[in-house]
Structures are given as C-alpha cells and as structure tokens.
Amino acid sequence: MRKLTTVLFMLIGLSSYAIDVEKPKTEVEKPTTEVDTCITEECHIEHTSKPVIHDPVTEGSCEACHETVNVKEHTYKLTDKEPGLCMQCHDELSKQYVHGALEEYQCSQCHEIHSSDNKYRLPYERIGDLCAECHEVAEEDTHVHGPTSVGECTLCHEPHESDYENRLTMGLDELCVFCHVTTKEELEGIEFVHEPTRDDCVGCHDPHGADNWKMLKAKAPDMCFSCHEEIQTMAKDSKHQHNSVTELDGCLNCHTPHASSVRPLLVDVPTTLCLSCHSEPLGVSVSEVLPAFIDQIKDKTYLHGPIKENDCGGCHMTHGSDHFRLLAGAYPAGFYTPFDETKYELCFGCHEKTLVQTSTTDSLTDFRNGNQNLHFLHVNKEEHGRTCRACHQTHASNQLKHIRKSVPFGGWTNLPINFSKTDTGGLCDPGCHLPKGYDRLTAVDNTIRPPKRKLRPDRNIKSDTQQVSSAR
C-alpha cells in the first residue's frame, strides 16, 4: 500500500511537470509609460531582422511615422495617411506623369515599410516581378525586349513620376538609342531617315514584346500600310500588281525601315535594286515570260535616260499600276495602234508630243527626209500606226536613239530593222518594207526601187529550180 501511494505521487508530479512544459509563454506586457525605443529583444525585433532597413527604424525614430494615442494603453497611430506620410521626408511629386499606385493606392503597395531583403525595400529581388502584380506585359510573346525579359523595368520607366508620357526616363528620341547606340550612329550618317525613327520607335515596335520579329506590332506589309494607306490602295486595287509589295514582308524587299542614302529609303539604287529580282526571266502569266532585265542593258552602249540615271521609277510605278508592266502612264502594248496622244502619256512625260503631231519640220527631229517628219509618218495613222517599240528599244541599245537591231512581230520573234546611219540621215532595210533612206539636207526619193542586192561572185550554184520574182 505504501509503495502504491509513492507511485501515485510520482505520476502526479510528472503530470504536473508535463503540463508546465506545454503551457505557452505569456505575451510581453506592454509598457504603460514612455520608453526610449520600441525595438528590443522582446518587442518589434522583426522590423530590423532584414538587411535593408528604413532609416527611421535604424535610427530608432519611430515617432517620425507614429504618434501616441494613449500611453497607458500603448496605442499609436500614423502621423498622416500615405502618401502624405512619406512626403514628410521624401520629395513631393511635382512632375506631369505620376504612377497610379501613388495616386490610387499607397507607397506600401510597392515598398515594405520597416525592412526588406531587397534594394529600396521592395518585396521582390527583381523589380519586374513587382510590376507584374499589376501590369501584364509580354507574358506569352515569342519575342521579348531585353529589359522586359530580365525584369529591368526601371531602365525605361521612372517608378514614381516623370515629365514624359508613360513615365519614361527620357524622351523617345533619346531613350531607344540610349542602348541601341549602333542604330544612332547609323542614323547620324545617313541622309534619308524614316520619320518615326526620329522620335517614335514605338510606332512600329512594341516596347515590351510581340509575336513578330524585331518586336514589330505587325508584319509587313500590314505594318507599313497602317500609315501608308495610299500605297495600300495602290498595291491592292491596281489592275497590275507588284507581287513583291503584297507578299509577306514584301516592303522590306526594297525598303530599309530606318534610314537610307537612297530616296525613298531604298535598299540600293533603283537599277541595282530591281536587278535583285529581274536578273532572271520572270513569268507574268501562263503564256508570257519577261526577259531578264540584265540582258537588256548589259554591255549596251546607249542607255535610256531613266536607266542611265538609276531611275526605274521614271517609267514604272513600283507599288502597282493600271497600266501593263506597272508603267507610270499610258503606253500601247502592241506593235500597231491608231494614233491618239493619250495613248502615249508615258512617253510625252519627257518627249514633246509635237514630235508626232507635226507632218513637216526642219528642227523637231533628225528623223526626217528633207522636211518630212518621219516620226509623224510612222506613228500618226488612223490605222496601223507604229508604236515607239517598232523601232526603239525601251531600256538600252548599241545604236543611237535606242534604235533596235530587231523587234518581235507576232510569231516572228526577231524581225530585223537593219538600220545604218549616215552623217545627214540613214537607211532602214527592215523586214517590214523595202530599203528606204532619208536625208535631212537632200530628200531621198524612195519611190525609186532600190538596186537588187548583189550575190557573192564566188558562189557558183547550179539549179534547175525555176526563178521566182522577189516579193519585195
């Protein structure tokens, strides 16, 4: 019985010990009088537990932000509401564009009040993670701006206020080239600059990210058409369209987006540029193939004026035209056409129309027999008027005045011209009429049949074939 009593007392003692161990610690009693500091080992120690500490906390100046309500009850309140409270020490906002968080919320929306693990007492190490709490940018874009990708939002944006829209750190004319220095150097040395490049890069590029190459807001040509509406209309509505304009990224086939030494922002001088495509034959329809442009001008002695001046646009509309071959004005497509000056709008843009309107002249043209204007004779007809191409090569020739060596005539791909020049005139012995000469000083009488061509004397050919009179 005595042993049992002893065991019971031991169990009761152990039970009491266990109860004492599990009993939670009592809270530190709040002081009821003024104290020297609010932060002790027992009170508010968490406010100094992180490496970046608010200055008043470091200095023990809690009264900078808090004031006593009741000392005995140990109650306090802030000395002012945010952001007025913070402005007691920090500069007041004075610039045009202010962060909405300061106007609508509080400084503590972005900053931890007492201490933090991060610079500026931010809640995140990367400022971009903080911004992402409110701003959703480039979350699923395949091409992301570098600063956006690494969360360096403040490289471009001021966090609190700015004199520039969207709180940019500087104007757009300076901001982008602050990093893109090579682009700035290129622009400074080039004569013709794309206007948005000067101060509106975001007109074409999304500053945060996009699904398009170079963070473009859209792909060309749609990107370009957003400003160049007249080009869009021409490219899409013209009877004859330039494929390189309407295809994806087509504008960049010919134009550089930022700047160029060739107007209008061309990649190269027009002739060289056009040859980047027209160096090979190009099919324009099932039954028609354009010859290689390079073959028409290569090693030629005489170049048509616009070609000589590297100005393909002198005759061609590069974006689209209602005239065949993208011509800038009307020009007959065939070998023959009844004369009408409106049909030669293109040629009369440079050449005097009186050249084919005056039957006699002693000065309008060197192509005259006495004073008979042979341009008028060939072209100005109610039926079967010869077009310019009957005698002249469009782009280049090895003969003066771009006279052709031959000309396509229906299925006859090379009807010969056989032109020879004299000091005061010349002679044509073409496939379309008997040899005819002309002379500006003494008119040639072409009613007289020219002498029969002489055969080679060394040719001794015997034949039983009946002689046939010449059809000429």
Share of the chain above pLDDT 70, in %: 92
Q: Round to the nearest angstrom and report the end-to-end CA distance of the chain.
A: 159
Instruction: Find the mean pLDDT for residues 208-212.
Output: 95
- In this predicted structure, what is the pLDDT of residue 186? 84
Nearest to 42 by CA among 65, 62, 26: 26
- In this predicted structure, what is the pLDDT of residue 92? 86
> 10 falls in which pLDDT band (50, 70, 90)?
very low
The DSSP 8-state label assigned to residue 151 in this structure reads T
User: Which sequence spans correspond to the domains of the chain?
Assistant: 330-450
Amino acid occupying residue 439: D
| Cα(397)–Cα(393) distance, integer angstroms | 6
- Long-range Cβ contact pairs of 232-240 (< 8 A, separation 24 or more): 234/317, 234/319, 234/320, 234/321, 235/319, 235/320, 236/320, 237/320, 238/317, 238/319, 238/320, 238/321, 238/322, 239/321, 239/322, 239/323, 240/320, 240/321, 240/322, 240/323, 240/324, 240/325, 240/326
For the stretch 299-312, pLDDT in tens is 999 999 999 999 99
> 463 falls in which pLDDT band (50, 70, 90)?
low
Who wins on pLDDT, 344 or 243?
344
| Cα(405)–Cα(427) distance, integer angstroms | 13
For the stretch 264-312, pLDDT in tens is 999 999 999 999 989 999 887 788 888 899 999 999 999 999 999 999 9
> For residue 412, what are its two tokens?
């006859």
- In this predicted structure, what is the pLDDT of residue 96? 95
> 461 falls in which pLDDT band (50, 70, 90)?
low
For the stretch 48-74, pLDDT in tens is 999 999 999 999 899 999 999 998 888
For the stretch 145-198, pLDDT in tens is 999 999 999 999 999 999 999 999 999 999 999 999 998 988 888 999 999 998
pLDDT tops 60 at residue 469: no
Mean pLDDT of the chain: 88
- In this predicted structure, what is the pLDDT of residue 93? 87
